Structures are given as C-alpha cells and as structure tokens.
Structure 1
C-alpha cells in the first residue's frame, strides 16, 4: 500500500492557492482567539468572526467556480479548518460544516444549485444528514415535517440541507434523500446546551408541512456509490467520494485544537513551576519534556493520517475513479485515527500543564472540552471506523454501517 500525503496531480498553482488560503486563515487566528470566550458565552460564533472569514474568502472554498467559488482540494480544506481551530474550535467547526454543506450542494442538479446560489452566490448552507423527519410524496416533490439536530452553522446560513426517509410500498424505508430547504421555511429550536463546542449554535431545525420540489432532492444511497445529480462532471471536486468527505472534514478542527494546546503548553512551560517538586520551571522536568514529545508525535501522526486520507480522496477525484469499498473503509480508519491521536495529545498536554488547565480562565479547558465533544460526532466515531476497516480487511463488507 502506498502512503501519499498530497495528491500526485497537485500543481504548483494548487499549492500556491493552498498556501494563500491557509495564510489568510492564520491571520485570523488572533481575532478568533480574542473572541473565543464571547462566542462560548453567547452560544454562537460572534458575527465579527463570520464577517472576517467571509471577507477572507474562506466560505467559498467548496463552492463551485461557476458561482464565484474556489473548488479547492480536500487537503486545502483540512489545512484551513486546522488553522481556524487554532484560534477558536467553535468558529472552525461551523465554518467546516458550512463549507462541506456547500460541497454537498454541488452534488445536486443545476436547478437546485441555481436556487441556492443563482441570485446570491454568497449564500451559506447548514446541514444535518440524519433522516429524522417524515416525508409524503406529492405531485412534484415531497411534503416534509420533522426535526433535525444538531445543525451546526444554522445561525449563519440562508439554506439548510436535511435528510428525509423515503418509504416503499410496504411502509419500510426504501431510500434516504438529502433535500435543500430555505432557512425561511424552517424554525430553529434552541437545544444546544453542551459541555464543548458551545459556540457552534448547533440547534435543532424544525419543519412543519413544508414543500420540497423534486429537483432539490438527491438520493444518499446512490450518492454513497458515486452517483450524483450534478451535470457538471468536469468539476473534479464533486467527483470526490461521499462518505469519506463527510467524515474527513470533521478531522480538520481536531488538528487545530491539538496544535493550539501544544503551542500554549510550550509557551507557558518556562514560566510555570511544578508544585511540590524541586523543578523551578516545567521546562526543566523530564516528565514534561517526555509529555511534550509524546503529544507532538501524536499530533504529527494525526496530521499524517488525515493528509493521507485527503490525498486518496483528491487523487481518486482527479483520476475520475470512484474509490471501492475497501479504499473508503481505509479513509474512515484514517479519519478515526486522526481524531483519536489529536484527542489523546490534548489529554496528555492537560496533564503536563497541571491542574490549572481546568481553570475557567485557561483556554486549555475550552480546547479540551471542544475536542472531547466534537470527536464524538457519529460520522467519525473511531470505534465504528475501526470495525469498518477491520471487517474490510477480512473481506466482510457492508455489515457495520451504510456510511462507508
């Protein structure tokens, strides 16, 4: 098995654009960090952050070029998310989710894309894939009623992408669809009361007998197999594998949270002693030195797994080849590994830094809470991802989850 960390087809122009976009994100880190506590207290990302990200063009990276977007590869997407998370986990998370929902929207047919971006190319999309609703087929589409949680980015979006079940003649679920709905057709129920990622405003979307036209629906079942509605088959980005994309993007914020924790502990070590020891500073203590080395290595490992997965997704899309089940299972494994390594690095750094890591005044405790919360997202569940990969290695496919 080859291990690649960037797609072989990446050009100097691609890498220059990546460096530019990551540089734009890096410049925003001080602002996001300064606003992180307020975003948490307000339970939504402050508008100053959203405006700054918009002005930096970082909401356009997954939008089609036809609507003024950049259509960057997934390695770039990961790096942008990572940088934003160095400043604020909640801001990175909602940006990541709105960007990937723009990618999902790019899988729809032309009319649906025109509905979302035709008059307002800057429109943002939030989404929940779970089919937690009821849909009734009517002439020209569906009438939908239901609730969807947790809709990260819904506080800053003009459209929503939500899942609905499609029942067969026997009353059993025969398909699952993603549907595009204007936020004006929905209400938001304030339900996001959590320990971490408090600023994401990942509240519950509510629909009551709303009509969704057929052209704003795509099948999840066929999308998982690489069959989507967009007629623009020359757009490389939207040939990327459905579930690998949905999972991997969620690793980006974890990489940045871990890096932020490492940077903070290294910065503070020369200024902190270790209570009840003879060490004047943490810098002098082998226990701290070893912990930092372990954490840094874990963070490196997280990056390596995430970047390999991104390279596999990007390379297959550029070659116009849809990855087979086993290749997609490996991406899920890499995603789970990246999330696990990043989370473990943060835990190691919390212990090295000491009990004051848990002081409310310390950014470390917010980083830790954000990581612990976000890393439990069902699509990146490391244990399920490991099971998917393990069964795949044994030639057993499709026995754990449809999301591969």
Structure 2
C-alpha cells in the first residue's frame, strides 16, 4: 500500500503498530476466545494514538484523511481482524463527533482525559426518543456495539420527532457509557474479539447539543466548526470507507501467512515437498497478490476522490456517491474471494483452531456481510444509476 498522502505523524503510528504485530497475532486467539480485544492489546494500540487520529487538531488529534485511516486500520488488521474492526468503529465515532456542536466535542475531549476518551457508534435507530425541554429522553437497544466495551461514550441512532410526535428525521445521540448498560449477546462465528455487544439505554436524558440530525449530515450540513479538510468530506462515503482498512489488513495477513509456510509445507498426495515449488501454488499466490494490490489501489482512489473533492468545496452528488459505494463493495468482495483462494492453496491445515489463517477467514467473512459495504446492494444501485433510474437506486440505498 502506497504511503503517498500519509503524513509522517500517521506513518509513525503505523510503524509502531507494525512493531506490535507479533503481540497482536499471539494474543489473537485469546481475544477470539474471550470475545473481546484483550486489555493489554487495546492499551498498547491506544498508546500509539491509533484510536484518536480522526480527532480535531485543537484537541491534539491528527484530523486524519481516509487514506491515513486505512493505513492505521490495515496495519492492525495484519495482526488481528477484531482489533482492526474496533479501530475502524472508534475512528468513525471520533470523526462524527468532530462534525457536531462544539459543546459536544468539549464534553468528550475537553476534560483531563482528553483523547483517552473513545466513542463507539451504531447508526441504527432501534430506539425511542421523546423530545423534552432542552433535549431528548432516550430508551433503546442497539445491536453490534463494536468498541463499546472500551469506549467512554457512544453515538447511537435515534428517531427525531416534531412537536406532534411524528418522526421527521434520524439522528445520533451522544451518550456517556456511564448512562448505558449492555447485554452480552455476542456469540458469533467471526469477529468474535470485536466484542460487539448489545447496548441499552433506559430513559436517558440527552441534551440538544449532543444530537446530530442525519439528513442534514448526509447532504453536508455539518454542525461542527472544525476547519480541517477531513471534516468537509462527504458524510456516508467517509464512514463506509473507514471500514475498508480492516479488510485490507486481513487480506494481506492471509497472504503473508500462506507465503510464510510455503517453503516448509508439502502438498498432500503429490510429489511436492514444498508448496513453493508447485506451479499451481505459485499461480494462486501470484493471483492473490494481484487481487489484493488491485483492491488497495481502488481503496486509495476512492479515498483520494473523497479528500480531493473537499479541497475544492465539491460535495459529490448521489450518483457519484453510489459509484463509491459500489467500489467499496467490490473491494470487500475481492478480498473475501482472495482469502478463500488462499485457504484452498494453503490446504486443510489452515482450518486448525490455532491457525491465524482460519481466524482471518472467519473475521473477514463476517465483516464482509456488514450492510454498509455489502457488494450486491452497491452493484444494484450503481447499475440503476447507470441507466438513469436514480429513483429506483434510492429505493435500494436511500442514504449514501
């Protein structure tokens, strides 16, 4: 992955994470079994600044762009997919908070702990929110609370109502973890260590300044006052592209693993004592490498398109955002297929519980089903836009 466009401060974080990779790999099985990132791993990653790169510079953050966010999450994903996924979500939470009312930002980052406060995020409005004087009272249950076990705050989806009680918009409510409880229901096949438990609020008051209306945000109507370029970018593509970095890392981890074993592993029931000697294996590795390189190049292209548009005050229209969404789905789908091919090339030993390869396979396969980057819906919507059926595309993906 090219380092072009990645500032030295971000590259330093990436290099620190690269140094932690042996620990990430060694502790990965522990996290998988415990169904959360081990505290030792989380603290080591936090110490690099990985979870605060998208915070504004006025609070000591780095106001990272999309390519920089990819570089950090990708580096973590080469060691542990679940930890990388947590990174992508906490990075998303920090970026969204940076668009909100300045008072909300001060609430989280303005105190003594500052950037040690992390923000998880769930967009689904699986809740009730009643308008009251000065804000809302919120009750709800939010699934897939990735990162919430390590977060001090959460951004959670709520319906916004008018004075008649009619839902007029969706929003995100910034709620401290101390006002939330959780239900440990995270029993899954992959992404086990992400600890994506159910979050629960019971009649929690949320002041008005901690609410972000989403319709305005989707179309670029940000409430924040941070001048950095990254906070002027298109809302939804900026969010779904933050989930691409973990996939890039997991794909590269699978390739690294298969190559590392090829000189010492035979191909069963053949005359090959070394996989690396077999033309069929060489072809498989070469193809996988090209596919991963292509996925990374497309990720860089979309990241640069997002950032460059903001530099000239251009907010991409729906049709262009849909094309970005289709590309994001293609990246994820390509990595899924590549890891499958690498598993076949490596052989059945890759399915051992002790194998990093099967864990990356399970983690990436699970993450690839996330609705934010699901390939099929992106392809369908982009196909409809291609044939000037934008209304039909909005039926498939109304919010992009």
- Quickly name the TM-score band, shorter chain normalised: over 0.9
Cα pair 1:273 1:280 within 8 Å, conserved: yes
Give the C-alpha shift of residue 171 in structure 1.
Answer: 5.9
1:231 aligns to 2:233 (yes or no): no
Aligned residues, how many? 394
Partner of 1:284: 277
CA-to-partner distance for each residue in 1:260-316, whole Å, 9 max, x for gaps? Answer: 110111110111111111222111212111111111111111111111111111111
Maintained 8 Å contact 2:137/2:205: yes
Contact 1:93 1:200 (8 Å CA) reproduced? yes
Counterpart check, 1:403 vs 2:395: no
| Counterpart residue number, 2:177 | 183
**With structure 2 as the length reference, what TM-score do the two structures score?**
0.95
Q: Distance between the aligned counterparts of 2:324 and 2:23, measured in 1?
A: 33
| Per-residue Cα deviation, 1:161-202 (whole angstroms, up to 9, x for no partner) | 000012457765320011100000000110110000100110
CA deviation after TM superposition for structure 1 residue 320, in Å: 2.4
Corresponding position of 1:327:
320
1:130 corresponds, among 124, 133, 136, to: 124
The DSSP-based 3-state class of the residue aligned with 2:201 is strand
Q: Where does the alignment leave 5 or more consecutive residues of structure 1 unmatched?
A: none
Could you tell me which residue of structure 2 aligns to residue 70 of structure 1?
Answer: 62
Post-superposition offset of 1:228? 1.2
Q: Which residue of 2 aligns with 1:356?
A: 349
User: After alignment, is 361-370 or 113-122 more displaced?
Assistant: 113-122
- Counterparts of 2:234 and 2:351, CA distance in 1: 40
Q: 1:25 offset after TM fit, Å?
A: 2.0
For residue 374 of structure 1, the aligned residue among 367, 380, 383 is: 367
Q: Distance in 1 between the 2:218 and 2:3 partners? A: 24
* 1:269 aligns with one of 262, 266, 270: 262
Aligned to 1:344: 337
1:36 aligns with 2:28: yes
Deviation at 1:69, TM superposition (A): 0.5
C-alpha distance in structure 1 between counterparts of 2:336 and 2:64, whole Å: 27
* Aligned counterparts, 1:244-255, within 5 A: 244-255=237-248
After TM superposition, give the deviation of residue 6 of structure 1 in Å: 9.0
How far is the alpha carbon of 1:60 from its aligned partner?
1.7
How do 1:1-400 residues align onto structure 2 when only pairs under 5 Å count?
Answer: 10=5, 14-119=6-111, 120-122=113-115, 123-168=117-162, 173-232=167-226, 234-397=227-390, 398-400=394-396
Between the aligned partners of 1:167 and 1:284, the Cα distance in structure 2 is: 66
Between 160-169 and 107-116, report the one with greater CA deviation. Answer: 160-169
> Hey, which bits of structure 1, 4+ residues long, moved more than 4 A?
168-172
Give the TM-score, by structure 1 length: 0.94
Alpha-carbon distance, 1:42 to partner = 1.2
Q: Is the 8 A contact 1:65 1:71 kept in 2?
A: yes
